[in-house]
Structure 1
Amino acid sequence: MRRLRALAATSGFVSILTVAAVPGARAADQDLIKRGEYLVTAGDCVACHTAPGGKRLAGNYVLNTPIGKIRTPNLTPDKETGLGNWSEEDFYRAFHDGISKDGSYLYPAFPFGWYTKVTKDDVKAIWAYLQSLEPVNEPRKDNEIPFPFNIRTALITWRTAFFSAGEFQPDPNASAEVNRGGYLVEGLGHCGMCHNERKLVGNSGLAGKLGGGVIDGWYAPNITPNDHQGIGSWTDEQVITYLKAGTAPGNAPGVAAGPMRQTIEESLSKMTDADLKAMVAYLRTQKARETYKVKDLEAFNQPNAPGSATYLSYCSSCHKPDGRGVEGAIPALAGNTSVQSQGPETVINVILGGLGAQSGYAPMLAVGQGMTDQEVADVTDYIRNSWGNKAPVIADRGVVSQARGQIKTMLAGNAPCAEIEQPAIAKALDEAGLADALKDIRQEDFIPRLDGLLPKIKAAAPGAKDDDIVNGLTTAFCKVAKDNEFYRNAPWHAVIGSFSNVVYSQLKNPEKRAEIRSVPGAAPPRN
């Protein structure tokens, strides 16, 4: 949602030049646009309205829903393909009531069940921001929804059963902070869209509110104050830090992955501390939900569990035999509430797809690519039920096969090499002579070549985060080396994972580079 056009009091748009002629009005409009930009960020509109490789907020992102594939609309003010011919009233009706400009019902994949709670003044600010965007001509591609779900008039049944329009009503007995948090969680944040336990797409009021649930093949965990399965054992500081950075001190939070990581990067990390604090305060007031009974869990014979050998072979060198990881470098699995969610999907996805460096933590190899489905299932059960952890064992082993078919990542070696997201990192890599440094690079060359390369990158991009350097170099290595004949018979997920971890280690332990340089006969850097 975004960009600039002022609304006339009577007939819609006035030109920017007209607004510029009235300094007071221009300042007011700019303030409104700025507020709208923040609200769009809080609503994480970019996530669903920007296609991979597409223009920001120009739509055509594919939502995989239970009724088929829905492609999102263009939110820029392009008159042919976007919102250029919409009025503010048209937009409010869609946002608040789920009814499009032409009078058709919107599919509840658009979270109007939550957005209806947003005030009219805030919708006005969002609209002003969207209209300030550079128009992008991006025709919307067709949805892929089979009969009878492609008949929009049938949505009246869903609306009658589940949808009630109306702005958020503050609780007179709650503090202003709690009510602000409730407005964000229940409205723009639409947290229940992922975190409700038993949900129908788009419904914000079903049982199991915020108790956790599966979304797009990932498990959105319980975020109620439950001590074991939710955030009850987390401190406020831990929750706020997690929402900002995707991890937090202590064992409980773990590391954000999948859709939550994207939400943090694009939305939550850009919100004010006051708003994050308010959201946490509101979550603390919710009913603590238990999505499974610990006492009813199937007995798990930890010492002789099938997954124990797999864990020792693939996982213990980083996460340690006791599951405690390495503080600040490898997240703990023991006591990790995300690991102990009702559903195993997120753990399985991370094992199969790996994780890039984030929040100072080392990248994780896609170790599951070297395991059988049975081994992935066994080690998942082992992790979720060891060192005091308790979670349901996997009932349907087909969930691993299904996840393997869906998870496509650069680290797993089953997706194209990514693009370097930060221009500053791309420029620094180029200035450091990356092309020559990585040419025909073999695994035995990783350390000496990085030893010569990393100081140059740090000098070229002095303010760059280590995470971005690790991920940027890993992406560059993928592009240069994936088709290298040296690796034709090697498991690519292990090669790229090894490179990524060497980069991380060399960045975090620069003294090791000095030790390497001082070793007689050590290979010289090849720049």
Structure 2
Amino acid sequence: MQRSDVLSFGLVAGFLLGTPALAQGDQSQIDRGKYLVTVGDCAACHTAPGGKYLAGNYALNMPFGVIMTPNLTPDKETGLGDYSYNDFEQAFRNGYSKHVGYLYPAFPFGWFTKVTDDDTKAIWAYLQSVPAVNEKRKDNQIPFPFSVREALVTWRTVFFTNERFKPDPSASAEVNRGGYLVESLGHCAMCHNENKLVGNSSFAGRFGGGVIDGWYAPNITPNDHQGIGAWTDDQVVTYLKTGTAPGDRPGVAAGPMRQTIEESLSKLPEADLRAMVLYLRTVPAKQTYKPKDLAAFDTADAPGASTYLTYCSSCHQPDGKGIPGAVPGLAGNTSVQSEGPETVLRVIYGGLAAQSGYAPMLAIGQQMTDVEVKNVTDYVRNSWGNKAPVVTGDKASEARAATKTMLAGTAPCGVIAQDKLKAAFQQVGIQDSLKGLKMQDFVPTLARLVPQIKAVPTGASDDDIVNGLTDAFCAVGRDDPQYGSPGWPTVIGSFANVAYSQVRNPEKQAIAVPGATVPPKRN
């Protein structure tokens, strides 16, 4: 779990951090529990793509196999309907389920054990209030001997300690508040520790960064080069709230972090985010790789230089600085310089939807060989002052196989979530207008449709409209044979960028998409 304002600090209990707790009746226990479930980002793991809220069956890819998450709704047959509060607490804070026994540490009970009694009871009250969904959990795909749950006793003996959060008496109330959020419900270390399976123990490589579900969660210690040491507090807070940072901190959130921001962190009051940042500042800075560990890399002669100029430089610019407000920079990008290349590889292969005002990124890696992707990844991670380890082994090909996105053509089309935006699309007749659309007609068609959509009071952001249009185009165009050349990833990437141009800057031409033919705007 990980993710209003009314609760703010009250959620961590007044006696713990020195501020008044909520008076009885100021906020119901259920509403408080709803906020805490948002803080914990429970929905991210317990709601399957296209599935019912908290009904489980989300596939967690772990090094030892695939775990299917359980149903948290109060259904008596398939969910928590036959649980007592004590049963829930045993699972939530002690990692033991009444139905299956010891839980795998993929469930972050090693962090949830630190949640206060009052907050645990509030979470339970909220989970009992959500609509019951009858959905049986699918079987895990875990080979022997990892499928033997009794063997988890050894792991627990070494790494798990059942204890509540202990505030530091020498730290401020705000730092302790941030510590509670980071170390318990936020379970930031679940992704950002170097060694995931050892939990929050001294062996975990605390907050030093590491691979999670095929992505690289970066170093979030105060290290100046690899962590957040060179970021201002405002930059980190803005990143946690929006997925991008102002000033000289380029880059956008991708993969699981983007989901965490959208579903959890963006919904926290700024005071909570600032407290989390202040706490992270107190963690010892960690250097996950040293200059002596880096391979010699001559960017002038690097094999990825020509690939970058061909496929990437028109958007990210030859100097790697991007286009302010439209395309994020790569030069000085902390995430680009993480120890592991996984996130860069996944973004190249899978592209990115529009977010935080930035244009969608074409799944450009679908046009490249794995060798080209490896080389260009090494190039961007070691150019313009960047320094990071080169890609080794089969990481590039593994990333291609693991990348499942709509823009890459390897995942189902997206579904428009906002009801008002969906209704506006139906009112304007978007799908009929996009069906069978030729590439040379992208600009005039969208130039006609976008003003009609924006004239409807939907409350949708520009990002929502761009991504909604892309979802709608995918639904009617994915199987259209006319897009066989230049290929679907190029076609949908080109469409997404024309949509962005028309939504954000209708008087300007669309951003050039490498490898695609984007016709000029007609007057």
Give the TM-score, by structure 1 length. 0.90
Residues 30-49 of structure 1 correspond to what in structure 2 (within 5 A)?
Answer: 31-49=28-46
Judge conservation of contact 1:199–1:206 (CA < 8 Å) in 2: no
Question: 1:232 and 2:229 equivalent?
Answer: yes
Partner Cα separation in structure 1 for residue 78 and residue 521 of structure 2: 60
Q: 1:243 is matched with which residue?
A: 240
In structure 2, which of residues 300, 303, 307 is the aligned counterpart of residue 303 of structure 1?
A: 300
Superposed displacement of residue 417, structure 1: 1.6
The CA deviation string for residues 303-334 of structure 1, in whole angstroms up to 9 with x for no partner, is: 11110000000000000000000111110100
User: CA–CA distance in 2 between the matches of 1:407 and 1:418?
Assistant: 15
- Counterpart Cα distance in 2 of 1:99 and 1:315: 49
Is 1:460–2:469 an aligned residue pair?
Answer: no
Specify which of 348, 362, 365 is matched with residue 365 of structure 1: 362
Residues 421 and 458, structure 2, Cα contact 8 Å, conserved in 1: no
Cα separation, partners in 2 of 1:412 and 1:374, compared to 1, 3 Å: same
- 1:157 matched to 2:154? The reply is yes
- The 2-side partners of 1:496 and 1:39 are apart by 38
Is the contact between residue 252 and residue 336 of structure 1 (CA under 8 Å) also seen in structure 2? yes
**Which whole-Å deviations, capped at 9, do the CAs of 1:239-292 have from their partners, x for residues lacking one?**
001001000113425100000000001110111111111100000000000000
SS at match of 1:374: helix
**What runs of 5+ residues in structure 1 fail to find an aligned partner?**
2-26, 514-520
Letter in 2 for 1:171: D
- The answer to whether the 8 A contact 1:240-1:277 is kept is yes
Partner-residue secondary structure (3-state), 1:188: coil
Spell out, residue by residue over 1:419-438, the C-alpha distance to the aligned partner (whole angstroms, 9 max, x if none): 12222221111111213321
In 1, Cα distance between the equivalents of 2:26 and 2:153? 37
Moved more, 496-505 or 59-68: 59-68
Q: Is the Cα–Cα contact under 8 Å of residues 191 and 210 in structure 2 kept in the other structure?
A: yes
The aligned residue for residue 109 of structure 1 is 106
CA distance 1:72–1:205, shift in 2 (3 Å): farther
Q: Give the 3-state SS of the residue equivalent to 2:67 in structure 1.
A: strand
**Most deviating of 315-324 and 474-483:** 474-483
* 2:55 aligned partner: 58
SS for the counterpart of 1:219 is strand
Partners of 1:436 and 1:136 in 2: CA distance: 35
Give 1:523 deviation, angstroms: 6.2
- Give the Å deviation of 1:32: 0.9
Residue equivalent to 1:429: 425
Contact 2:435/2:473 (<8 A) preserved: no
How far did 1:439 drift?
2.8
- For 1:354-398, what per-residue CA distance to the aligned partner results, in whole angstroms no more than 9, with x for missing partners? 0000000000000000011111000000000000001111122x1
Give the letter for the 1:121 counterpart.
D
Q: For this pair of structures, how many residues does the alignment match?
A: 492
Q: Partner residue of 1:21?
A: none
2:128 is matched with 131
1:132-179 residue CA offsets vs partner (Å, 9 max, x unmatched)? 111111112222222222221111111101111100100010011111
Given the alignment, which residue of 255, 259, 263 partners 1:258? Answer: 255
Of residues 286, 290, 308, the one that matches 1:293 is 290
Larger Rg: 1
For the residues of structure 2 that align with 1:510 and 1:201, how far apart are their CA atoms?
52
Supply the distance in 1 between the matched residues of 2:201 and 2:492 (Cα, whole angstroms): 42
The question of whether the paired residues in 2 share the 8 Å contact of 1:109 and 1:202 is answered with no
Counterpart residue type for residue 459 of structure 1: A
2:507 aligned partner, one-letter code: E
**Alignment match, 2:481:** 485
Match of 1:141 among 127, 138, 143: 138
How far did residue 72 of structure 1 move? 1.1
Distance 1:314 1:102, change over 3 A: closer
CA contact (8 A) 1:324 1:334 kept: yes
Cα deviation, 1:94-113, whole Å, max 9, x if unaligned, reads 11111112582111111100
- The one-letter amino acid of 2:415's match is E
The answer to whether 1:511 aligns with 2:503 is: no
Q: Distance in 2 between matches of 1:446 and 1:255?
A: 27
Q: Tell me the CA shift for residue 199 of structure 1.
A: 3.1
CA drift of 1:461 comes to 3.6
Question: Which residue of 218, 221, 237 maps to 1:221?
Answer: 218
Matched, 1:349 2:346: yes
Measured after TM superposition, the shift of residue 486 of structure 1 is: 1.7
Amino acid at match of 2:405: T
Instruction: Look up the match of 1:284.
Output: 281
| 8 Å contact from structure 2 (residues 428, 453) kept in 1 | yes
CA contact (8 A) 1:432 1:456 kept: yes
Question: Deviation digits for residues 193-221 of structure 1, max 9, x if unmatched?
Answer: 11001332644442420000000100000
Q: 1:204 to 1:458 in 2, by over 3 A?
A: farther
Determine the C-alpha separation between the residues in 2 that align with 1:522 and 1:306.
36
The answer on whether the counterparts of 2:431 and 2:473 sit within 8 Å (CA) in structure 1 is no
Classify the secondary structure of the residue corresponding to 1:64: strand
1:5 aligned residue:
none
**d(CA) in 1 for partners of 2:269 and 2:232?**
18
Partner of 1:198: 195
CA distance in 2, matches of 1:67, 1:207: 17
Match of 2:438 in 1: 442
2: distance between equivalents of 1:204 and 1:279?
20
> Helix, strand or coil for the counterpart of 1:63?
strand
**In the superposition, relative to structure 1, how do residues 35 and 446 fare at CA in structure 2: closer, same or farther (>3 Å)?**
same
User: Which stretch shifts more, 78-87 or 169-178?
Assistant: 78-87
Cα distance between partner residues in 2 of 1:439 and 1:74: 38
Q: Structure 2: any 5+ residue segments left out of the alignment? A: 2-23, 510-519
Cα distance in 1 for residues equivalent to 2:148 and 2:195:
25
1:522 and 1:179 map into 2 onto residues whose CA distance is 55
Would the alpha carbon gap of residues 253 and 283 (structure 1) be closer, same or farther in structure 2, given more than 3 Å must change? farther
Structure 1 residue aligned with 2:318? 321
Rounded to whole Å, the distance in 2 between the matches of 1:166 and 1:315 is 49
How far apart are the structure 2 equivalents of 1:451 and 1:295? 53
SS of the residue aligned with 2:130? Answer: coil
**What is the alpha-carbon distance in structure 1 between the residues aligned to residue 204 and residue 330 of structure 2?**
30
SS for the counterpart of 1:160 is helix
Instruction: Report if the CA contact (8 A) 1:221-1:230 is conserved.
Output: yes
Residue in structure 2 matched with residue 20 of structure 1 by the alignment? none
Q: Distance in 2 between matches of 1:461 and 1:446?
A: 24
Q: Are the structure 2 counterparts of residues 500 and 94 from structure 1 closer, same or farther at C-alpha, using a change threshold of 3 Å?
A: same
Greater alpha carbon shift after TM alignment, 84-93 vs 240-249 = 84-93
Give the partner amino acid of 2:460: A
What amino acid sits opposite 2:469 in the alignment?
A: L
Instruction: Sort the Cα spacing of 1:436 and 1:198 in 2 relative to 1 into closer, same or farther, 3 A.
Output: closer
State the match for 2:11 in structure 1.
none
Hey, what's the Cα distance between the residues in 2 that align with 1:327 and 1:184?
Answer: 33
Instruction: Answer yes or no: is the 8 Å Cα contact 1:251–1:332 preserved in 2.
Output: no
How far has the Cα of 1:73 moved from its partner? 1.1
Q: Is the 8 A contact 1:225 1:283 kept in 2?
A: yes
CA RMSD of aligned residues (A): 1.8
SS in 1 for 2:211: strand
Worse-superposed segment, 237-246 or 503-512: 503-512
Determine what percentage of the aligned residue pairs are the same residue.
68
Does residue 411 of structure 1 match 2:404? no
